[in-house]
């Protein structure tokens, strides 16, 4: 059969993406017992559509690792005890660590264009943070995280998450993200497989830290505070070795703490020349 005939009949052409899936089962559940029908919110409906698209169209892989945050937690608690204006949680430290890791591995701070043949590398660092609200899952984007301190990020996070939970967010406040963090630390768990938030190429999931025994340099067993990391990524852009290097660098940054506490380096302003 010629290519022209094949194209006209469609007999040998691949089916449109997802068009050959079986129909969703239609079941009258009331036949089996008492039920209650509850409509999904607008946010839940939109989230379901986007998540389905992302899961179907992105070849997901999830890499798991651990980070020793013993020193970080000591530093964080000490700062809070000293009277920080806004209580510091682990999240602003995670954002700072992610930004530094993105600088080291720029393919994570990227997006595939519509053709799927070109990778757009971003020079800015806008981080999305998944927030559980009464409206459904919202992801506000914190902009220019490389230019903000841990304390500044904490203040902005508190403001935007409060707004998300009380009033909801506009699309502008959830657009332009480079990378997303989904934290379930408040609820527990030991790891999960977050879905990449297209058009981003990776997402970091974290669960509750736990005390675990580790062998120290003097061969003595020490109890350390360990944070589980779950990095899901788009395998079209990132391979397993990339993911392992990224999470290893992330764990190193969280363990060292000091690089996260440093004041952000701002670009040097361009001198203004007076007009003659």
Task: Name the nearest CA neighbour of 179 among 114, 127, 137, 117.
Answer: 127
- By the 10 Å C-beta count (0-12 exposed, 13-18 middle, 19+ buried), 174 is classed as middle
Q: What DSSP letter does each residue of 37-85 carry, written as one string?
A: --PPPHHHHHHHHHHHHHHHHS-EEEEEEEEE-HHHHHHHHHHHHTT-S
- By the 10 Å C-beta count (0-12 exposed, 13-18 middle, 19+ buried), 196 is classed as buried
63 is catalytic: no
**Cα(26)–Cα(29) distance, rounded to whole angstroms?**
9
Taking 3-state DSSP, the helix, strand and coil percentages for the chain, each rounded to the nearest 5, stand at 35, 20, 45
Task: Name the nearest CA neighbour of 41 among 171, 133, 166, 129.
Answer: 133
Q: What angle do CA 215, 221, 223 make, to 5 degrees?
A: 100
Cα dihedral 42, 43, 46, 50 in deg (nearest 10): -170
Select which of 60, 64, 126, 235 is catalytic: 235
| Sign of torsion over alpha carbons 103, 106, 108, 113 | positive
Q: Catalytic site residues?
A: 235
């Amino acid at each position: 059969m010629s290519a022209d005939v094949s194209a006209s009949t469609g007999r040998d052409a691949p089916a449109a993406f997802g068009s050959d899936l079986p129909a969703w089962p239609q079941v009258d559940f009331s036949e089996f017992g008492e039920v209650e029908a509850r409509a999904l919110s607008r946010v839940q409906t939109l989230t379901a559509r986007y998540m389905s698209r992302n899961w179907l169209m992105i070849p997901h892989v999830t890499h798991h690792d651990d980070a020793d945050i013993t020193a970080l937690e000591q530093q964080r608690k000490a700062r809070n005890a000293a009277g920080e204006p806004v209580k510091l949680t682990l999240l602003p430290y995670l954002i700072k660590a992610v930004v530094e890791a993105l600088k080291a591995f720029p393919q994570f701070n990227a997006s595939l264009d519509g053709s799927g043949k070109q990778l757009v590398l971003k020079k800015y660092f806008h981080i999305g943070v998944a927030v559980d609200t009464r409206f459904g899952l919202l992801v506000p984007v914190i902009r220019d995280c490389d230019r903000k301190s841990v304390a500044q990020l904490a203040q902005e996070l508190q403001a935007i998450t409060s707004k998300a939970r009380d009033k909801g967010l506009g699309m502008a406040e959830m657009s332009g993200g480079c990378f997303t963090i989904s934290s379930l630390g408040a609820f527990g768990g030991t790891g999960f497989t977050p879905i990449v938030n297209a058009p981003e190429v990776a997402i970091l999931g974290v669960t509750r830290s736990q005390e675990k025994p580790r062998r120290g340099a003097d061969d003595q067993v020490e109890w350390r505070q360990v944070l589980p990391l779950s990095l899901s990524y788009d395998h079209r852009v990132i391979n397993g070795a990339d993911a392992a290097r990224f999470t290893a660098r992330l764990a190193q940054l969280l363990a060292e703490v000091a690089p996260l506490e440093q004041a952000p380096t701002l670009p040097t302003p361009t001198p203004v020349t007076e007009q003659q």
